[in-house]
Structure 1
Amino acid sequence: MISIDRVDHLVLTVADVDRAVEFYRDVLGMEPVEFPGERRAVRFGDQTIKLHASAELVEPTATHPVPGSANLCFVTSRPLSDVQEHLRTSEVRIEEGPVGRTGSRGPITSLYLRDPDGNLIEIARYDDEA
Structure 2
Amino acid sequence: MIAAIDHIVLTTARLDECIAFYCDALGMTLERFVGGTPAVERLALRFGRQKINIHVQGKEFEPKAQLPTPGALDLCLIAALPLAEVIQQLQARQIAIVEGPVLRTGATGKINSVYVRDPDHNLIEISEYLS
TM exceeds 0.5? yes
**Aligned partners of 2:9 and 2:108: how far apart in 1?**
24
In structure 1, which of residues 12, 15, 34 is the aligned counterpart of residue 13 of structure 2? 15
Identity of aligned residues (%): 46
Question: TM-score if structure 1 supplies the norm length?
Answer: 0.94
Which segment is superposed worse, 71-80 or 5-14? 71-80
Residues in 1 aligned to 2:119 and 2:95: alpha-carbon distance in whole angstroms: 10
Post-superposition CA distance 1:60-93 (Å, at most 9, x none): 1111111000000000142211111100111100
Q: Per-residue CA shift, 1:3-54, capped at 9, x if unaligned?
A: 1111111000100222211110011100100012221111001101001000
Q: Is there any run of 5+ residues in structure 2 with no aligned partner, and where? A: 35-39
Give distance in 2, aligned partners of 1:82 and 1:116: 22
Provide structure 1 residue ranges, at least 5 long, that are not aligned to the other structure.
none
Q: Which amino acid aligns with 2:55?
A: H
Note if 1:56 corresponds to 2:59.
Answer: yes
Amino acid at match of 1:111: V
- Distance in 2 separating the partners of 1:48 and 1:81: 24
**Partners of 1:102 and 1:77 in 2: CA distance:** 18
